[in-house]
């Protein structure tokens, strides 16, 4: 019998011992990585809790496989099941390019109001990296998920809607634009910015992180990205008061050393952040940013620690959470038992944390780290690590499970 997670009136999540969690296998390599991630997650829960806790997996359709079976890329029933169960995990989903079908990932985020895209980025040796000191990268990106240029307010050049908006811009707002332009809007609001930054600050305080950096392009876009900066500072200090400190206070009062139980809130221009995370990554901790900036920086940081195959991710709102592999469907190796399952395994570890089962989440992360260090890895990594041996997706998963029980 399904045991849905519940949420109290004050926003507290109540997780039963046998919670039902929706799962989407995904397209392409989803059929390879999901079954292997699932057995690792089940083994981790069992290793830590025995029979006291167990996840009841509830498969739901989405993506190309769903379209073939039901005629719908993302059935309404799938969304309703996730709403009811509160938590889901998914493999990569395919969305046809240029066919008028909106990204399924974007639709999931919008329909379920999953306003915070959370991506921890941390290095696992000996994964190959293009930078000298990938071990200095240990950041968590909080990306606003519902606004910015991803809001879907876009019109093709030459359409009646585009011409109508063009006419208004020219006649009422004195904008000088080529008639051939396509148009899109970039909405950003104080309420959606504040809830994102609040969640980033909560995470920083709960996990003993020292700084939250607001990443923006407010020097150019004064009222959207500049608004993000302004509203972000307001949220931090309105919600957490004197537990937040500015950089000015940090150096004037604390000689640059963050006092225990406090978090520094600061802001940086987006292009400066891209340079800094390469040159001095250890100076960044939590990065909170608008949608487009977050898309860019999270993928760039993932490249510094070995690529998207190593990058976990979650989309979290107040009523639902969906954990996901952050890479694509890789159809060229689908069904060959060759894909790297680390992204989905590590996303599953985030899911276990979200359930309050932190010991099981930590067990997954440790086991993945030990498996990688052992030198038997999937071919995408083995080709780049001297002396490494290539193993299958399922073979690597078995190695991870063996390492769940290593205590040293």
- Check whether 38 is labelled as a binding-site residue: no
- Check whether 119 is labelled as a binding-site residue: yes
CA distance 87 to 23: 9
Q: Which two tokens stand for residue 35?
A: 């079954």
8 Å CB contact between 131 and 304: yes
Q: For residue 166, with 0-12 CB atoms within 10 Å meaning exposed, 13-18 middle and 19 or more buried, which class applies?
A: buried
Distances (CA, A) of 313 to 274, 310, 388: 20, 10, 27
SS3 104: helix
Q: At what angle do helices 358-373 and 393-403 cross, to 10 degrees?
A: 120
SS3 96: coil
- Check whether 340 is labelled as a binding-site residue: yes
Q: Which of 25, 122, 217, 230 is catalytic?
A: 217
Active site residue 296: no
Bond preceding residue 340 cis, omega within 30 of 0: no
Q: Which of 17, 170, 251, 271 is catalytic?
A: 271
Active site residue 295: yes
Q: E-assigned strands of 256-335? A: 263-269, 286-289, 312-316, 321-325
CA distance 124 to 348: 17
The torsion angles phi and psi of 88, rounded to 5 degrees, stand at -145, 160
- Check whether 20 is labelled as a binding-site residue: no
Q: Which two tokens stand for residue 214?
A: 């607001």
Q: Which two tokens stand for residue 334?
A: 């689908």
Q: Which of 115, 124, 150, 203 is catalytic?
A: 150
- Check whether 103 is labelled as a binding-site residue: yes
> 399: part of which helix (H) or strand (E)?
helix 393-403
Q: Which two tokens stand for residue 143?
A: 């990306």
CA distance 267 to 279: 17
- Check whether 109 is labelled as a binding-site residue: yes
- Check whether 107 is labelled as a binding-site residue: no
Please give the DSSP secondary-structure letter assigned to residue 103. Answer: P
Which residue, 46, 50, 23, is CA-closest to 35? 23
Q: Which of 27, 295, 337, 353 is catalytic?
A: 295
Active site residue 282: no
Active site residue 271: yes
Binding site, annotated residues: 103, 105, 109, 119, 143, 295, 340
Cite the active site residues: 150, 217, 271, 295
Binding site, annotated residues for D-threo-isocitrate: 103, 105, 109, 119, 143
Binding site, annotated residues for NADP(+): 340
């Amino acid at each position: 019998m399904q045991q849905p997670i519940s949420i109290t009136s004050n926003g507290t999540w109540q997780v039963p011992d046998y919670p039902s969690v929706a799962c989407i296998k995904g397209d392409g390599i989803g059929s390879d990585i999901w079954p292997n991630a699932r057995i690792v997650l089940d083994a981790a829960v069992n290793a830590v809790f025995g029979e006291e806790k167990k996840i009841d997996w509830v498969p739901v359709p989405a993506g190309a496989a769903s379209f073939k079976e039901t005629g719908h890329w993302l059935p309404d029933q799938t969304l309703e099941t996730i709403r009811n169960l509160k938590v889901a995990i998914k493999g990569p989903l395919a969305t046809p390019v240029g066919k008028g079908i909106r990204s399924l990932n974007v639709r999931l985020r919008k329909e379920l109001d999953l306003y915070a895209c959370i991506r921890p980025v941390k290095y696992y040796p000996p994964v190959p990296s293009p930078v000298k000191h990938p071990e200095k990268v240990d950041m968590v990106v909080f990306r606003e998920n519902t606004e910015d240029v991803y809001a879907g307010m876009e019109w093709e050049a030459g359409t009646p809607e585009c011409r109508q908006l063009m006419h208004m811009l020219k006649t009422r707002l004195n904008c000088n634009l080529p008639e051939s332009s396509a148009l899109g809007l970039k909405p950003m609001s104080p309420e959606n910015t504040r809830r994102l930054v609040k969640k980033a600050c909560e995470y920083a305080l709960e996990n003993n992180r020292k700084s939250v950096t607001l990443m923006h392009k407010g020097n150019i876009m004064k009222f959207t990205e500049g608004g993000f900066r302004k509203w972000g500072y307001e949220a931090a200090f309105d919600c957490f008061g004197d537990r937040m400190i500015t950089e000015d206070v940090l150096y004037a009062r604390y000689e640059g050393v963050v006092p225990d139980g406090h978090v520094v809130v600061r802001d940086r221009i987006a292009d400066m952040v891209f340079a800094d995370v390469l040159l001095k990554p250890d100076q960044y901790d939590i990065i909170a940013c608008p949608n487009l900036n977050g898309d860019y920086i999270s993928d760039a940081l993932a490249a510094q620690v070995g690529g998207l195959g190593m990058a976990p991710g979650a989309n979290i709102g107040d009523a639902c959470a969906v954990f996901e592999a952050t890479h694509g469907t890789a159809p060229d190796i689908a069904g060959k038992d060759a894909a790297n399952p680390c992204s989905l395994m590590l996303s599953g570890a985030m899911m276990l944390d979200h359930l309050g089962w932190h010991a099981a989440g930590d067990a997954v992360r440790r086991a993945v780290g030990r498996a990688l260090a052992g030198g038997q890895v999937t071919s995408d990594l083995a080709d780049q690590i001297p002396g490494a041996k290539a193993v299958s997706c399922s073979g690597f998963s078995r190695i991870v499970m063996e390492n769940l029980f290593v205590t040293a």
